[in-house]
Amino acid sequence: MPEALVRSIACACMTACCAVAGLAQNTGSIGGRVLTAAGGGEPVPNAPVEAKNESTGASYSAKSAANGSYSLSGLAPGNYEITVNYPPIFLPFSRKDVAVQTAQTARLDVRLDDVLLNTLGDSGAEFVKLIAPQPAPKGLAPRTREGKPDLSGVWLGALPSDPGKPEPLPWVEALSNKRLQEMQKDIPSARCLPFGVAMSGVFGPTKFVQTSKLLLIMEEGDLPRQVFLDGRSHPKDPNPSFYGHSIGRWEKDTLMVDTSGLNGLTWINFDGFPQTEMQRVTERFRRPDLGHLEVEVTVDDPSAFQKPWTMKRVHSLAPKDVDILEYICEENERDRTHTPSQ
């Protein structure tokens, strides 16, 4: 390589490095932890933290780690508004005038209050314990006599790892905004009604019992579901219900479940998106190994969304001594008196 070309490349690299170093010296950062206000301050994982420059409107985002820590870097000096919106358990958090200075890190620990007003035993501190990552056993996924992956087992609840990118129609967006402003006070589960197909398994634990012709899904505290694997079709005139009518078929190692005949009385997610009777839900279940169950949920509802959209979750297999328990929502029910609707 000619010496002149070598010098030119070296000069370009040095210029780029200096530019990066200069950029780092001209910006600052914000860091801290996201914790619950109740229960002594439990770390809140996967909380979305957003910083908005109050002068320019530039936004930066990050998610908290398993220990609740977060970091927002590359921020131009100035004042920022920090927000954390983590429904349905926690109330929105906002703090203005967080000052960022050049080459310095502003410390801000976020304390999240929950919709049950930090009630002992029913607070967000208990919720984060349920969603905390759990170690999963290692090994190959078991298979049935027919050679299909066996989905049977007790699976721990899991929040969406990817909430998807829904494009709601105007009436759905308006309703969602209203429900969020009212802190999800009308979420069906607050009235002991089912979560619905799209949110099935979020809180868990959920037990799968698989045979060659039927998959039975039993979620603790919710209605059982039947997924027919015997080749039948949906009924021509279904009786609309909370979980509709579900049929499944295998595509290699993925179980495709199609559900229709829904009654439109549940929510799709914690943003308060409504379900309508036109909605169809397609679920894809994969067990890539012994300890994990991958779930993709595609919502197709032309009366509510511009196009279909997909959410993703990954569940961990529960320890052998964990099973679902009997749960009656209205027995010893204490939450309702602490919700914002009262």
At 226-259, the pLDDT tens digits run 999 999 999 999 899 999 999 999 999 999 999 9
CA distance 40 to 37: 7
Cα 95 to Cα 84: distance, rounded to the nearest angstrom: 9
Q: Could you tell me which of 315, 329, 55, 77 has the C-alpha nearest to residue 195?
A: 329
Domains of the chain: 26-112 (2.60.40.10), 134-338 (2.40.128.20)
Instruction: Give dist(CA 309, CA 170) in Å, integer.
Output: 16
121: which 2 tokens?
A: 């035993």
Residue 157 binned pLDDT confidence (cut-offs 50, 70, 90):
confident
The model's confidence at residue 190, banded by pLDDT at 50, 70 and 90, is confident
pLDDT of 201 reads 86
The token duo for 249 is 């078929």
Token pair for residue 38? Answer: 């109740």
Torsional sign, CA 155, 157, 162, 165: positive
Q: Are 250 and 256 in contact (CB under 8 A)?
A: yes
- In tens, the pLDDT along 111-148 reads 998 766 666 555 666 677 666 667 889 999 999 999 99
How many Cβ atoms from other residues are within 10 Å of residue 191's Cβ? 11
pTM of the model: 0.74
Q: Which two tokens stand for residue 102?
A: 């050049």
